[in-house]
Amino acid sequence: MVEAPRLLQNRDFMLLWGGQVVSTLGSMASHVIFPLLILAITESPTAAGIAGALRFVPYLVLSLPVGALIDRWDRKRVMVVSDLGRALAVGSIPAAMALDNLTLAHIYIVCFVEGSLFVFFNIAEVAALPRVVPRAQLPEATAYNEAGFGVANIVGPSMGTILYQAFGRAVPFIVDALTYLVSLASLLAMRTEFKRESPPATLDLRGEIAAGLRWLWSKPLIRFMAFLTGGINLVNAAMPLLIIVLAKELGAGDAQIGIIFSIAGVGAILGSLVGGRIQRRFTFGQVIVATMWVEACGFLLFVAMPGYLWLGVLAALLSFVGPIYNVVQFSYRVALIPDELQGRVNSTFRLLAFGFMPLGAAISGIVIEHYGVQLAIVLFAACLFMLAIFTSLNRHVRDAPSIERASVVTP
């Protein structure tokens, strides 16, 4: 049997990985600027929260049909078109600024369009990864992704705020649009075919969606992990605005806010570097339960921050835990899903995992504006404590077999 190449020698994986790291760098540069720009225009946390929600709403509407279509279409072509569309959408913001015609409605439309194309790209990418990387290397590949995204999380926010302050409000969005084009070029250079050899002869979208739903729903562990990840992401969607508002109350300026997010990115890199090792040393249940309790206890500490730099330290702790959770649950899930169901099952999972994010983003803005950031922190910390309790009590999580054993018994 021919041994699979190491990841660093896997040309197509490195192209995919490199393109996504660059694209994520641009997204993080603009991600922190969206709320800053809206707050500068409107002085309304609620308006900023709505913009965050609009980036996630498309998952509620599109994920199930997109998952079925991804299992039919050429996944690489979907990713290329999505990158091109996102570059044009984000690029329209600096174009409108140049014409002195930027409105809040325009920003909202860009958020929704970018979020919609993200649904197509994200589901296609997840479905394509097992074609690029052998199953045994999926945890390592996931750790590489988390490490690269961690670097982007460090550099991106500071880079975005520096560009925003030193060169103008439009520049972070120009950079973001260019990084989407870099991702597009990396995809075109890949040789791996992502399209299924023999898609169904007739289009039965409802039946194909139902097949993905049935597969996920028949697996109690994967079903629970979808809802658990959704609860975590509800809180994660609220965190950027919570940190920005809390940092401003503690005396931080725009540049210092970028530094806070960059410090958090250091934690993400460290977590991604150890995620694969932890996945090998501990059971699935041990990792998932432990990370949930660390996240819940850590999040509550936001109410007691003595200064804005401590926000970065605490955010780094939470960012350290996130990649560990992601490496374990993502590699476990993807290894079990049959290739012909990758798009549909992952779209169902991500509907549940991302579907609560608009709610988290919107609630954070409303609660902060009307009741204050401290109450918002307590509210979202309570959500994490409930999730930690449910996870600890779930026998499917506690007794989950290894990937190798689970792959043998999973059709």
Q: Pick left, alpha or beta for residue 168 (phi over 0 → left; psi -120 to 50 → alpha; otherwise beta).
A: left
pLDDT (0 to 100) of residue 409: 44
Residue 190, C-beta contacts closer than 8 angstroms, at least 6 positions apart: 12, 15, 16, 76, 132
pLDDT (0 to 100) of residue 322: 87
pLDDT (0 to 100) of residue 387: 96
Structural domain contains residue 250 = yes
Structural domain contains residue 198 = no
pLDDT category at 293 given cuts 50, 70, 90 is very high
Is 73:193 a contact under the CB 8 Å cutoff? no
Q: Where are the beta strands (DSSP E) in 27-113?
A: none
Range of the domain at 174: 9-191+204-409
Res. 288: pLDDT tops 90: yes
pLDDT tens track for 161-209: 888 877 888 888 999 899 999 999 999 988 877 765 555 555 567 787 8
Res. 254: pLDDT tops 90: no
Q: How far apart are CA 239 and CA 49, in angstroms?
A: 11
Q: How far apart are CA 227 and CA 219, in angstroms?
A: 13
CA neighbor of 243 nearest in space, from 161, 178, 303, 201 = 303
pLDDT (0 to 100) of residue 96: 92
Res. 151: pLDDT tops 50: yes
Structural domain contains residue 296 = yes
Residue 390, C-beta contacts closer than 8 angstroms, at least 6 positions apart: 228
pLDDT (0 to 100) of residue 184: 92
Structural domain contains residue 96 = yes
Res. 4: pLDDT tops 50: no
Number of domains making up the chain: 1
pLDDT tens track for 223-234: 999 999 999 999
SS3 208: helix
> What percentage of residues in the chain have a pLDDT greater than 90?
19
Res. 47: pLDDT tops 50: yes
Residue 68 maps to which CATH number? 1.20.1250.20
Within 13 Å of residue 24, how many CA atoms lie on the same side as its CB?
19
pLDDT tens track for 123-135: 888 777 878 887 7
pLDDT (0 to 100) of residue 74: 83
Structural domain contains residue 3 = no
Identify which has the larger pLDDT, 307 or 195. Answer: 307
pLDDT category at 3 given cuts 50, 70, 90 is very low
Res. 408: pLDDT tops 50: no
Structural domain contains residue 326 = yes
Most confidently predicted of 113-127, 224-238, 276-290 = 224-238
Structural domain contains residue 264 = yes
Structural domain contains residue 4 = no
pLDDT tens track for 62-71: 878 888 888 7
Is 10:132 a contact under the CB 8 Å cutoff? yes
For residue 135, what are its two tokens? 């199953």
